[in-house]
Every structure is written in structure tokens, then in C-alpha cells.
A and B are shown apart, each in its own frame.
Chain A
């Protein structure tokens, strides 16, 4: 291994977990594939260890191996895993059952998927307690309520009876933490515990995990793709690349003095204050400096006025009362997802729309894109009122070509049965008739524009990587030379190094083709890099708007301040 400079000062306490020379193989159609190779990790009692890496680096596989929950195709080919004197590799099912839950516990990425959807959360905690004989049936309920209390859930007696779908994502993750910690395990493995959560929720959840584990002198492994998060909460960081550990260092050292080139690349690619778009790209790639942006002509391309979207509330009158003439409750006021907002996008400008989940930013972008009908309000695009046309008919309107969108999830937004070329060509085919050769040429031109190698054009989406799929999505949006492109968190599903490339690409394209962007995101760092002006939304309303610098450096609204503070900052 390249870096073991810190092994001397890393372990003062005895190691609770020792992973030595671990190699894991997966049997696939093309023979066996090594997911991780010769991985060494040691974890001291009471230590918090971060495993950082991009997708496919083997960080999750490593932790699954420690819990022995690899799926059937996976096999530990070599190496040993010792957990406080127990050989995990050789342990039989009975021993493993005792280990899991009582000694080691795990928090998964998607809290909602990790909970049984049809069982009250309190009962789920009881189940774990009873399974590991931590309590008697008589006091189970009381213990479960205590467990809820410990994860700072307000009104735990009431929440005990709640079902997972009644709770927010952050709440669900707290329940999962309560479940994991119920039997007072010695080792907690958290696999991307906050990836689907908002920044403010992320901060609350991570603070809670750290506090609880510290209180109980537990050891924690935090698996994440976010260097900033790992550096904020971990004592030591292991960086993995392609199944190998490339660097192990104390987190306070790794930022000051990253030893391995991959760590340096990863750190460069992480958006941070004080770094421009080009600073994210690796040093080796010679890139032309950003062309000077053509000054915005000031011509207003998109104007949104008094936009409102209301949804009817869930019908709370039961079926029975309806049928049998029971007393009907008063009809509640409809839920306002977007509440009377207005803004402008000028030609050649990028406007950021920022907010946490549920703030109405996606609803707004869907309405502007005319995929959704607003309840009231006016959307003027290039001088024409486009909100007058129902969304259903807008698909065939000539204006459609000038408004395009890049979607959040590059995988889900491509038809799994279309090749890349066919996905890119789909918008062109709707508008005009073109010979096959001309169409192919146009596809290749677009692929060149977004940096997608031409030979990938004939592949299906599942044969492309995340970054390549993102490029196909962008090429498709550009195929019709639109005036306005809505970018709906275009890099949220991508690794940081890919994100850096895609963000640069988007900026270059904007300047070259003279488009305007409406950039929807929850990541303020990314917004700062790309946007001229920023709009911050909360519960359907605009709380702050201004130039990017103004909003991010000197926010006036309290909420914006909270958002900025919640972002984990690497200790630079």
C-alpha cells in the first residue's frame, strides 16, 4: 500500500476490528471480478474511521464483508477479518447472528427502504431488542420509547405508533439509527447515511451519530463519497480507489498534506469556497481558460409572475363515512407547493434555484418546462405567454423546441431500450425529417460537443457509465438548439470527479451556444460555481434572491445562513 505513514499514531487503543489482506471476488458472466484487492483496515476502540471513494471503489463491499452480508455472487477469496478476537470469515451462521445487531450494526443509505413499511416503528425497535434478549416483553415498550428519545425524536410515545411513511426522511434515518444502536453494539457501520437527505438534516443526523457513538465509546465506520463530510466527522480517513486502499491518514492531515495523487484529484474536484470551475479539473488535463462570458444583453427571456401550484389535500374522510353518510369534515385549504413566486431569467444568464427537498423548486421547474399546469400565474417566454396552453398540448407546440431540460437522474431519464444515438436523435425526429446519414452526422456532432466518444453512440444506457449517461442527457437537451435549458440537479447522481467535468462542460456549452440556464440544486457550492444570480426557496416561497456572490457571501435571510452553515467544510 502506498501510504502507511500514519499507522504509528493511528492506534493507541487496541484494535476492535482488523481487516488484513482482504480480497473479494464476484462471479459474473465474464468470469470472476475482483471487487477489492488486498485491503488492510484497522479500527481502534472508540475511533471513527471514514472510508472515502467514488462509486465502484469497493468501499461498500468492504463493509458488507465485515458484516458478512455479501450477496451470493460475492466470495471472500483471501484475507482475514478479526472482530475483537472472533474470526468473522470462519464464523458460522449462529455466531454471525449473534454478532450482527448485538456487536456490529449498520445504517443504510436509504432509511425508508431499511424499515418495514407496514410495522409501527416502535414495534420494529422492540423486535430487535427481543431478538437479542436485551429486554423482556413487559418492558420492551418502555425501552423502545427510550431508544426513540435517545435519537432526539420529539414526542416519542406518539411516534412509537407511527409508520415509516408518516415520517420524513431525516426522521426515518433517526429511527434506523435507534434500531442500530438499540442493542448497544460496539461497532457501527454507516453506509452513506445522509446521501438522500438535505444539508440541514444531514448535519443534524451526523451530529447525532457522532454524539451517541462518543457517549458509548463505540467505534464507527463512515462510508461516504463526500470528503468534506468525512473530514468533519472522522478521526481517520481511508481513501479507496478501484478496490484498493490508496491512502490512510488522520483527517486533519489529509487535507493539508494529501500523499496520493488520487486523493489530491478527489480533493481538487470537490467544490469548495474559493475555487473556480476550472480549479476542479485535474491539473494534468490542459484546459483552455473559460472564455469570457458574453455580457448579458439584459433582454428578458423568461418571466414568471405570481406562479402558484396547489394540490388538493389527502382525503381525510374515510371511505366508510362517505358511503354511510358519516359526518364530513370541513374541506381543508389545498396544499400550496409553489406559493406566488416571480422571477426573471435574462438571455445568456444562469439563474440558480436553491432549496431543500419539498421547497417547490422541482414543481417550479416542471411548470416552467410546461410539463405541469400551474394553478395560476403567468409564464412569459421570449415575449409569448406560454402558460395559456395546457401542458398536454404543449408537446407539439413549436415553442417546445426552445425549452429543454437536463434531468436529475441520468439513468432514469434515458429510455433503457434506446441506444444513445436514438435517445439523442429522438427530439430531432419529432421536428423535422432528416436523412439517416444527416441524422447520424448530427448525433455525432452533438456527441462531440458533449465529449462523448462516437463509438458509445450505439450502446444501450446500461452499458454506459454515469458520466457518459449524463452526457447523453445533455446532448439530447441540446439537440434542438434551445434558448433555455433547465438543469434539474444534473450532477446529483454523479461522482465528484465526474461532476467537475460535467459542470465545466455545461459552462463551456452555455458560453459557446449562448443559452440561458435555470439551475435547480440543493448544493450551494455547485450553484456558486455556475450561477450569476441565485433564488433561495423555502416551502413554496422565495426567501432570498440576488447575485450569487451577494447571497452566498452575505446572506440576509436567516434560512440562507442556516443552509450555508450546514454544509460540511473540509478543514482547510
Chain B
């Protein structure tokens, strides 16, 4: 890290850090627009990732967190000068805590035209169930 944190161990960030502040190897990141819909069976996640193709997309699920990284496929050609920019070149990063409410084996995702749709079936433990009264 830097000289100071290496000299004084107590200033070194421990491995359990706040979400989103890990030392990202991704560099600068941007949070994409997303919506989550819920049904009895599953969660439906829709993420807008314009400029991301299947090759640049990475979805990982671990420790109760779903992590979506999208790298943009396009880079500015040499001769082009930017006159006005509203988008950024940063990688998309979305981290959602689901606290083990999702059955990881049954996650399905598809990416078309820059829109990622992920279906996250609920784990059996949290599905609504009727309780019989004796």
C-alpha cells in the first residue's frame, strides 16, 4: 500500500472492509442502473450495461453477495477527439447482498443489447410456506 500503512500496522485496512471499498483491481468503477422484482419463486434482476458484450461480463456469487462486473467492449479509436462526453469508460460494478436467500445453482443470466437479465431462484428455506395449525 503506502509507506505509512506499512510502517504502522494498525492503519492497514483489514480484509474485512466495507463493501465496495476493497482495493479494486478494476480501477475506477461506476454503478449501473438496475431493478429487482420479486415473485414467490425467484428474484428477477435487470441491469443496464450499455457497451458491455458477453466477453466483458463477469458474474460471481459468493458469501451471500452477488457481484456483477462489466467491462466495456469499445475503446475510442485513435483519430477521434472527444467534444462532449456524458458516459464514462469506467467498468460497471454492482454488488448485491442477498444473504443466502438465493439458490446459487439455479441462477440464469442472459445479456442482450446491453441489458442483463438475471433470474435468481429463491432458496427453499425462504420460500413462503403454509403452516398447519394442529
Q: Do A and B bind each other?
A: no
Report which A residues bind B (CB closer than 8 A).
none
Report which B residues bind A (CB closer than 8 A).
none
